[in-house]
Amino acid sequence: MDLSRRSFLKLAGATAAAATLTGVGLRKASASPSEPLRIKFTKEVHTTCTYCGVGCGIICNVRDGVIVNAEGDPDHPINEGTLCSKGASIFNMSYIFDEKGKPRLNPNRLTKVLYRAPGASDYEAVEWDWALEEIAKRIKDTRDRTLVETVDVGGQQVTVNRTNAINWLGSAWCTGEENYLFHKMVRAMGVINVDHCARL
Amino acid sequence: MTKSLYEKCQEEITRCKKLYKGFSDSSPFISSACSAVYEYFKEHPVAPLPAYDKEEAADMIRAGNSLSLNPNLKTRAAVGLLKKLGEVIAKTNPKLKATVNELDEHLDQFLLDSPEEVAKEELFNLRDFLIKETELEEDLATFLFSIMLTSFYRQYLQATSGVLRTDLWERGDCPLCGTKPHYGQLRSEDGAKQLECWLCGTQWLHTRIKCPYCNNTDMEKLGFFTVEDDEKVRVNYCQKCCQYYKIFDARKFHADGGVVLAIHNLASLDYDLLARREGFTPGSGLEWVNKDEIVEAQD
């Protein structure tokens, strides 16, 4: 048996007092079984802000599958840790804190398609399939009804294939690529009033 | 230790007493240890080593190579400071007088057996020897040797530290001396993760979601834990290399820069114990927890 001097003295019961940090007052509170410290595990997850085309980096703190905090990513080359007021509140897109400070699903978050019929005062929940069908049908009806194929320019008929009855507003929530595709789609339909709610 | 650092340490101790539950009990010892270090260097001043060439240093950092400055220490000075800290231990707890005397004997012997200057590694061997042969436990040994080493390193490397381009450094180890960090902070102004070398005090930025030890960036394998109702200390861990380090969230301190993280580290040793009990080892190699403390929880 390989005995160090310390082990030998310990066996002989002839040692000086053990010199620990506790011995000089540095008590580790977590060592106490009477007052155990409860641990909360959190994951940090990268994401990109969806509010506008700037594409700021965000770090979300996720605990037990729930986002508990969202903050600007300091390592992101675009925003370097900062966020605008909308981006800073992006946490609330999914969750709100209740009066006890616990995150709860935001009750104002839309999870269904809401439709208000012409003349109606209230919204009603409708199915996605119905809504998409209806939007496509109405766009096509409006476009077909109002399409101007040619206009007179100096006594000559010039083909224009356009409608003034539809205005298309692109979204800053979409990516540049998505907005490009929207633009192509509506131009193909003859829409000439195209705008974008850019927040750049 | 310079006067300004000494004063900053004392201010930080006062701040930490308010921030960390239970630190009031241990602060007199830490405060006395700081005073002892300050007094020691007032009597035995240390000259900083000449600064590294600025351009050469920048080229090395740019190429991703740490300067790895690890000067030898004067054996007599290292032993002298350890003995001075031993006096603080004996004064704080007179029951430990016999143990401190035993340590002094071993230190005298080390001085006789060693050359005039010794490398850092030889001092770590001495630490391990004292743990094996005396009643000095791992946590107090880490305290003694880390305080002693950092006191010399901060002064030796002061000149080069002033010309170091830490903004070019992306690795997890220290750009100045190559040591692996034990703690860092989330900067109050932007939440960036700033690691600090426990040995020479160099601070540098490191990617938030990245392990400084194994460079893992897999978000699934990285995370941190806090304790309930206290978000100021995070224990960042990596499940790939199973190592941890502590991050102090300076945004929660309401301090205007100049935080002495070494004091926060001493005030938050609870977290080292929790991390060890969760099965993580310190990536820095600094063991702040005694074996019996880890075992207790497993029983």
Complex ipTM over 0.95: no
Q: How does DSSP classify residue B136?
A: B
What is the interface size between A and B, counted as CB pairs within 8 Å? 148
Q: How far apart are CA A61 and CA A43, in angstroms?
A: 6
Residues of A with CB under 8 A from a CB of B: 4-6, 15-21, 23-31, 33, 37-46, 59, 71-75, 80-82
Q: How far apart are CA A95 and CA A98, in angstroms?
A: 9
Residue B200: which of B153, B144, B139, B237 has the closest Cα? B153
Q: How far apart are CA B151 and CA B85, in angstroms?
A: 12
Using a CB cutoff of 8 Å and minimum separation of 24, what contacts does B53-61 make? B54/B163, B57/B160, B57/B163, B57/B164, B57/B165, B58/B165, B58/B168, B61/B164, B61/B165, B61/B166, B61/B168, B61/B169, B61/B175
Contact yes or no for A16 and B96 at CB 8 A:
yes
Nearest to A27 among B22, B133, B228 (CB): B22
What are the beta bridge partners of residue A69? A61
What is the distance in angstroms between the Cα of A106 and the nearest Cα belonging to chain B?
23
Asked if residues B186 and B252 have their Cβ atoms less than 8 Å apart, the reply is no
CA distances from A169 to A162, A198, B64, B96, B242 (A): 17, 10, 49, 78, 51
Residue B138: which of B298, B297, B299, B293 has the closest Cα? B293
What is the distance in angstroms between the Cα of B49 and the nearest Cα belonging to chain A?
33
What are the beta bridge partners of residue A159? A150
Nearest to B28 among A25, A33, A82 (CB): A25
What is the distance in angstroms between the Cα of B192 and the nearest Cα belonging to chain A?
5
pLDDT at B144: 95
Among chain A residues, CA nearest to B134: A6
Nearest to A41 among B139, B223, B269 (CB): B223
Angle at A136 between CA A131 and CA A141, to 5 degrees: 125
Q: How far apart are CA B116 and CA B75, in angstroms?
A: 6
Taking 90 as the threshold, does the pLDDT of residue A199 lie above it? no
| Chain segment B132-160, per-residue pLDDT in tens | 999 899 999 999 999 999 999 999 999 99
| Chain segment B14-42, per-residue pLDDT in tens | 989 999 888 888 889 999 999 999 999 99
pLDDT at B256: 63
Token representation of residue B255: 């301090």
Token representation of residue B295: 């075992």
Angle at B274 between CA B269 and CA B277, to 5 degrees: 130
| Chain segment B168-208, per-residue pLDDT in tens | 999 999 999 999 999 999 998 899 999 999 999 999 999 99
